[in-house]
Structure 1
Amino acid sequence: MPVLETTDFGDEGAKVRDEVQELGEETEEGPQITDTKYFHEPGGDDILGHYDKRYFHGVVSYGERADTLRYMIRAYLDFFRKEGLETWISHGTLLGWWWNGQFPLQMLPWDWDLDTQVSGTTLAHLAKTLNYTTHTYTSPDRLVSRNYLLDINLWSRERERGDGMNIIDARWIDVRNGLYVDITGLSETHPDVQPGVWTCKNYHRYRTSDLYPLRDSVFEGVRAKIPYAYGRILIDEYREQALIDTEYEGHSWSQDRREWVKIPERSTTELETDTAKRLEPDHRPLPRPITPSGPEVLQ
């Protein structure tokens, strides 16, 4: 069984959190907030935008990224389950589960982070009782031990989008390198006029029947929850092509291995030959798309 230990930073953690906020300068009119953003990254592109600035020491390798994310989501899901807290995988993480659902390697290998969701009620509980706590995860074989920080955005109580700088409500961060799990809360923000409609601060909308009852499944070798209408959610977010295309982001889907495989870099000669072939007329019938047989759902 994996081992999880929790540590509360207390006053020291609050001090560190205050130091990283960069909220502005003191003036005669009082403190002026010039930057409301809570979580900061070392850059804004697809790579640097997926690290927490406080723990960033350089871009990790392809293999280290996969290793980091794999143990990080296992630790996250184990922690929430043992605490009796409700969470489910979402966005690209849910898409990875759909493709690789019956096999242990389920993350999309080009993903730089992982995505989960919680209800507004769970988010409030995390902010009140578990904010800025660290958790030590030890793998079942005791060969791997990692530390993670659960950090709740100070603006998480604000359920509207606001200025758009705080759409991520919380993060589960690997303190070795800064990679993280994004945690977003879903709330019925306008129950009077839109009852049963759940939204996050990034304009994703779901009906109660899309989410509940949550289904039991497995992700990266540990028990996980997925939203009830996962197929409709994925098509709404990514369109049907995301469930059909077998080449994406330098990877191809291997039906035999049931996983996304990195496409080897090709030589200049190979690329030139391939380009010449593509310019020739091709009268062969189009192949049928290969689609996965579907993920494992335990209920």
Structure 2
Amino acid sequence: MRVRWALSKLNPTRFIHSLGTSWDGFSRVSVSEYNINDEECDPTKRRIKNLKLKSKLLVLLSLVFIGTSLFLSKFCIFTLDNINQYIQSNYNMNLYLSFNKRFQGFKEFNNAFQVPNQLELYINQNSVNNQFNYNYSSVALISYINEVYKTQEKPKEYLLNQTIDFHWGDWVDTSRANPFIKMYPDLLKRFENSKDDIYNYYRLMCQFVLEDKLPNYEDYQLFKNHAYLFEQVQGIEICGAIDKYYYSPVPERIMLETDYHYHVVGVNQNRLDEPLGIEGLTKRYYNTESAHSQNVRNINPNDGNQIAQELKKNYMAKGYESSNFKLQRFLNQDASAFKEPNVLDEIIELEKNKFQLTQEERKRLNFLQYSNDHLKEKQPFYFTSVQVEIDNKDAILHHYNYPWMKKILCPEERIKIIHHMIRSWFKFAEQAQVVTWFNYGNLYGWYFNGQNLPWDNDVDVQISVQDQDKLGQYYNNTLVIENPELGDHLFFYQTNPWYLQPHQGQHIDSRYIDVRSGIYIDISCLWLDQSIEHYDKEDQENEEKAKDEGKDIPEKVLRQIHCKNNRRFPLDDIFPLRRTLFEGAQGYMPYKPKKVLWDTYGNGCTDKKYNKDHNWQKDIGMWIQNQICENEMIPPTDQRFDDNGDLTLKGACNDTEILETFKSTFGQYQAHLKEFDVVVGKGEDGSEFSEEELPIYRFYDSSEFL
């Protein structure tokens, strides 16, 4: 602020002019006061000395000014070319905004929520040097599960019924909320211990960030450049951290994903007031009531896989059977799974025995009543994404789920997270015994190279409404720890309260969210266009008509399913689902992938070689940005590879990122080509190419992108 204030007061022209006039009194020397023969007092020589001194000082001041200008230009504050324009515009902006009440609110947001530049003591003291390390939480829970299997006779029941305490601050970095956390006691006094009023205050302060509220004024561009654009993403992170610390729902359960079993741990639904921190997590790690400093030092946050291997031995030692999460070659589903649920009938049935309902039945009744009572009301989209005016064209922020977004990811970061998330989702669905498949942009990506498109920001999967209801009843608000053998991601499954009924604007029925980035899988449930009874009646009428006319019995009426966005798919195009490899992991896709794509994106869409500022280069199996190389800039195939068949740097358009991606994905691409030839080229069974999953070949390390 001091620098900005100083700049707003600085006028270089006036400043240099003042330097010149301030020396006038010293330069006007009276000759009569000195002996003209005295060399020291010779007025001419004195004037020359004064001029030399002034010149040196002016040069020095100019160098200081230029150096300061260049230094500040490094921070995009101003340059020598625009200094006068910047100072004047900055002065006008400050003058205007000082009278703008909404901007005063934005300044209050910064004063209240902004994290100071200096390194503070983190609220969650989870690791050495007070740096947040989320792996402590995962490792502590894996160790806790292992201890239970070693000591308890019925470990599965114990883990489910002996609920653990929970705070999001132990699992995700909430350090950006520290100023708000520290001022919370003062807020309680200010709002007379009303936590609801504090919540409303938080929502008011974050309104500028979450709802993109901008004041109406003439100098819009000036405000956007100086106050809005610079702080928007930072504000999202701050508000998200506060939401996670105080207001995000506590998981109903935590599931540890392994290749043999999903370990389920019950969670206390009363949120902790503050994180457990390293001491509390150490107690969980050893499953004890106390922890010593030596116990803390013995915990290694990178030991998750090692402990998980020991857990597997203890699990088998209890005599439990290993589950198989391998997908089937083909998977069919009856049309009844897409039948629209009768919510009113279920409510009436539950209310008949409302005094004898179990806890789960009571929870189900409350959910159905809430959903039904608010059905006619216009509701905001349930899953919050930040809508920013400057982002309307590309909708980048729209593809992050609030409050889990932490920063804007580059495409390389995003696809690495998606690589893990897709694999985890299909395993999660398999253990829940529900049927799901990928579609839309992900199916388009599969068609070319079996990978996610570099410009696609999320994953789209579909599911029947009956299976969605199953997930909603038994898995809503589930936190999933990724298989430690594969990575250390955390995924949160959440359902939309209106998934059972058509509701305007609620077209996404649930999400599988990476809680450390906000990247997600959109899950849409599908319904039959008509009731089963209607289809059966129409089939019967057509059959009777054919008999009366002496004709062959016609085929049954085409059953169609649709989502809440009214996208329609013939059941015969989707089922039976095909098992395939997508991003190296087993997943299901529609039976007729090319037809589904053409029906969705138009005939010939799979023949396009240019899309979203990318061009398809078949010989290396990659979509490449046009600005990197296209047309004649693309090296000929016979000049891209060395004698060993390896892509050269020149063959990779002199781009090291392309070269590294090629090395990690080309083996998967070659396997995809074989499957593609059988499935799309011949229309036959290509499941032999997806018998085994490929090893993880994309690893996300946030430190690589700092």
Q: What letter corresponds to residue 133 of structure 1 in structure 2?
A: T
- 530, 554, 575: which one aligns with 1:190: 530
Take 2:268 and 2:526, find their aligned partners in 1: how far apart are those partners? 27
Change in Cα spacing, 1:201 to 1:213, as seen in structure 2 (3 Å) is same
Structure 1 residue runs of 5 or longer lacking an equivalent are 14-31, 271-291
Q: 1:256 and 2:622 equivalent?
A: no
- 481, 493, 501: which one aligns with 1:150: 493
Match of 1:282 in 2: none
Take 2:675 and 2:510, find their aligned partners in 1: how far apart are those partners? 31
Take 1:5 and 1:62, find their aligned partners in 2: how far apart are those partners? 33
Take 2:258 and 2:454, find their aligned partners in 1: how far apart are those partners? 24
Contact 1:108–1:260 (8 Å) recurs in 2: yes
RMSD, matched Cα: 2.7
Contact 1:151–1:170 (8 Å) recurs in 2: yes
Q: What letter corresponds to residue 250 of structure 1 in structure 2?
A: D
Q: CA deviation at 1:138?
A: 2.7
Q: Which moved more, 1:180-189 or 1:79-88?
A: 79-88
Q: What letter corresponds to residue 507 of structure 2 in structure 1?
A: I
Match of 1:27 in 2: none
Structure exhibiting the larger radius of gyration computed from Cα positions: 2
Q: What letter corresponds to residue 86 of structure 1 in structure 2?
A: V
Take 1:12 and 1:263, find their aligned partners in 2: how far apart are those partners? 52
Match of 2:424 in 1: 75
Q: CA deviation at 1:236?
A: 0.5
> What secondary structure is seen at the aligned counterpart in 2 of 1:237?
helix
Q: What letter corresponds to residue 169 of structure 1 in structure 2?
A: D
List structure 1 segments (4+ residues) > 6 angstroms apart after TM superposition. none
Match of 1:86 in 2: 435
Q: Which moved more, 1:34-43 or 1:149-158?
A: 34-43
Deviations 1:133-186 (A, max 9, x none): 01011364x4x210000101111011x2x32x2100010000001110000001
Q: CA deviation at 1:190?
A: 2.3
1:1-299 alignment, distance < 5 Å = 6=264, 11=269, 35-43=379-387, 45=392, 46-101=395-450, 106-138=451-483, 140=485, 142=486, 144-158=487-501, 160=502, 162-163=503-504, 165-191=505-531, 192-193=533-534, 196-265=559-628, 295=676, 297-298=686-687
Structure number with the higher helix fraction is 2
Q: What letter corresponds to residue 231 of structure 1 in structure 2?
A: K
Q: What letter corresponds to residue 434 of structure 2 in structure 1?
A: L
Q: What letter corresponds to residue 449 of structure 2 in structure 1?
A: N
Change in Cα spacing, 1:216 to 1:265, as seen in structure 2 (3 Å) is closer
Structure 2 residue runs of 5 or longer lacking an equivalent are 1-256, 272-375, 536-556, 634-672, 680-685, 689-706
Contact 2:512–2:522 (8 Å) recurs in 1: yes
Contact 1:41–1:50 (8 Å) recurs in 2: yes
TM-score by length of 1: 0.75
Q: What letter corresponds to residue 592 of structure 2 in structure 1?
A: A
Change in Cα spacing, 1:188 to 1:109, as seen in structure 2 (3 Å) is same
Change in Cα spacing, 1:240 to 1:294, as seen in structure 2 (3 Å) is farther
> What secondary structure is seen at the aligned counterpart in 2 of 1:55?
coil
Take 2:608 and 2:675, find their aligned partners in 1: how far apart are those partners? 15
Match of 2:196 in 1: none
Q: CA deviation at 1:81?
A: 2.2
Q: CA deviation at 1:126?
A: 0.3
Change in Cα spacing, 1:6 to 1:94, as seen in structure 2 (3 Å) is farther
Q: CA deviation at 1:265?
A: 4.7
Contact 2:432–2:471 (8 Å) recurs in 1: no
Take 1:129 and 1:298, find their aligned partners in 2: how far apart are those partners? 31
Q: CA deviation at 1:239?
A: 1.3
Q: What letter corresponds to residue 248 of structure 1 in structure 2?
A: N
Q: What letter corresponds to residue 493 of structure 2 in structure 1?
A: L
Change in Cα spacing, 1:154 to 1:89, as seen in structure 2 (3 Å) is same
Change in Cα spacing, 1:100 to 1:36, as seen in structure 2 (3 Å) is same
Take 1:6 and 1:126, find their aligned partners in 2: how far apart are those partners? 15
**RCO (CA 8 Å, sep 6+): is it higher in 1 or 2?**
1
Contact 1:5–1:137 (8 Å) recurs in 2: no
Q: CA deviation at 1:261?
A: 2.3
Structure number with the higher strand fraction is 1
Take 2:264 and 2:627, find their aligned partners in 1: how far apart are those partners? 42
Change in Cα spacing, 1:73 to 1:259, as seen in structure 2 (3 Å) is same
> What secondary structure is seen at the aligned counterpart in 1 of 2:528?
coil
Match of 1:276 in 2: none
Q: CA deviation at 1:243?
A: 0.3
Change in Cα spacing, 1:224 to 1:34, as seen in structure 2 (3 Å) is closer
Contact 1:7–1:135 (8 Å) recurs in 2: no
> What secondary structure is seen at the aligned counterpart in 2 of 1:183?
strand
Contact 2:482–2:489 (8 Å) recurs in 1: yes
Q: What letter corresponds to residue 237 of structure 1 in structure 2?
A: T
Q: Which moved more, 1:3-12 or 1:242-251?
A: 3-12
Q: What letter corresponds to residue 121 of structure 1 in structure 2?
A: Q
